[in-house]
Amino acid sequence: MTTTLMPDVVTPVPHTVRYRPPSGADVRIIETIAECAGALDATRAAGLTVGLVPTMGALHAGHCSLFERASSECDLVVVTVFVNPLQFGVPEDIANYPRTLNADVDLAGRAGAGIVFAPPVKEMYPGFPAPVATTVSVAGLGDQWEGASRPGHFDGVTTVVAKLFAMAGRCRAYFGEKDFQQLAVVRRMVGDLCLPVEIVGCPTVRDDDGLALSSRNVRLAPDARRAALALSRALRTGAAMATRGDASPSDVEAAMAETVAAEPSVSLDYGALVRADDLRRATSVRPDASLRLIIAATVGGVRLIDNLDPFAPPAHAGVVAEPALS
């Protein structure tokens, strides 16, 4: 089912209608799996390529970097906007998640999307709120860090992403590196299940002050927004310690924790140096190893995550891509 967008309302219509943002971009809004799958099948039948960007909406410049990358590499870009209830453990968290579909369609169109797939919950999970009988789980990768702090979170992510991939068919799928664990989990799922999807990881996008862009940032009060800079500051501190040459992983993690502790309003969940492939804690600090600094903390009641390659050249503060489904 295709819909037109009116202020704060999504109105079903019996035929295909296109929403035209002021920029002149032409965006088709689809609500059903069957219609979206048919549109993408037709695209490939015409010899064209498909790019998929899964999101939960509340889009911003970080998401735009994904759309722009996808549109530079694919003939048709489909952006999914779906607040997935399976990946939320706390009812208040999903209730507070921002929903801005009109603005999302406008932004996606300006950044190169041709389709916005925005299904209702009952389209993705017909029996909801009854438990979903079939879920996808990535053991090991999905059980630690965010998976340990938010039980069931990654099962929700991989289940909805697997459904989106089944709908989309052969395509490239674009995910931001800001949620580094999510990217690793999705890559493993695609490899293990032999799905015909190429996963493309895109760099994180940050504000000029270094805070990684996130849809959750809108929930930060001004004081909490300033305090949240402790996360990126801790990552830079950890990276500086790692590149010193004589530090151990515990030295790096202690430096990160100390940096966060200097900001009393930030509650640290974890700050760790891990192996980039399996996210296990690093046992040594070597420039030739593929390592990642990861961090999660609660600021003003809002859970935030971030990560950094300790040996990568410093990036401009404004470069970073939003994880699609966080």
CA-nearest of 257, 259, 236, 255 to 311 is 236
Which pLDDT value is given to residue 89?
85
Other residues' Cβ atoms within 10 Å of the Cβ of residue 44: 15
Place of tokens 């990036």: 315
- Residue in 15, 60, 63, 316 annotated catalytic: 63
**Choice between 245 and 153, residue whose per-residue pLDDT is larger:** 153
Element at 50 (helix H, strand E) = strand 50-55
Which pLDDT value is given to residue 18?
37
Q: What is the mean pLDDT of the chain?
A: 90
Which pLDDT value is given to residue 25?
58
* Band of pLDDT at residue 245, cut at 50, 70 and 90: confident
| Residue 66 structure tokens | 């994904």
Per-residue burial over 19-43, b if 16 or more Cβ lie within 10 Å, else e, is: bebeeebebbbbbebebbbebbeeb
DSSP code for 231: H
pLDDT tens-digit map of 67-83: 999 999 999 999 999 99
CA-nearest of 79, 62, 65 to 27 is 79
pLDDT tens-digit map of 38-54: 999 999 999 999 999 99
Which pLDDT value is given to residue 90?
81
| Residue 1 structure tokens | 């089912």
Which pLDDT value is given to residue 4?
42
Give the whole-angstrom CA distance, residue 38 versus residue 34.
6
Give the whole-angstrom CA distance, residue 89 versus residue 161.
17
Place of tokens 């996606």: 108
**Choice between 321 and 7, residue whose per-residue pLDDT is larger:** 321
Give the whole-angstrom CA distance, residue 285 versus residue 274.
10
DSSP code for 285: -
β-sheet with 302-308: strand ranges across = 266-275, 291-299, 302-308
Q: What is the arithmetic mean of pLDDT over 243-263?
A: 96
Domain 3-202 matches domain 216-308 at the CATH topology level: no
**Domain 216-308 belongs in CATH node 3.30.1300.10:** yes
Q: What is the arithmetic mean of pLDDT over 118-127?
A: 97
Which pLDDT value is given to residue 20?
41
pLDDT tens-digit map of 234-243: 999 999 999 9
Domain boundaries defined on the chain: 3-202, 216-308
pLDDT tens-digit map of 192-238: 999 999 999 999 999 999 999 999 999 999 999 999 999 999 999 99
pLDDT tens-digit map of 279-316: 999 999 998 899 999 999 999 999 999 999 999 987 64
Name the CATH architecture for the domain at 3-202.
3-Layer(aba) Sandwich (3.40)
Active site residue 63: yes
Q: What is the arithmetic mean of pLDDT over 126-133?
A: 95
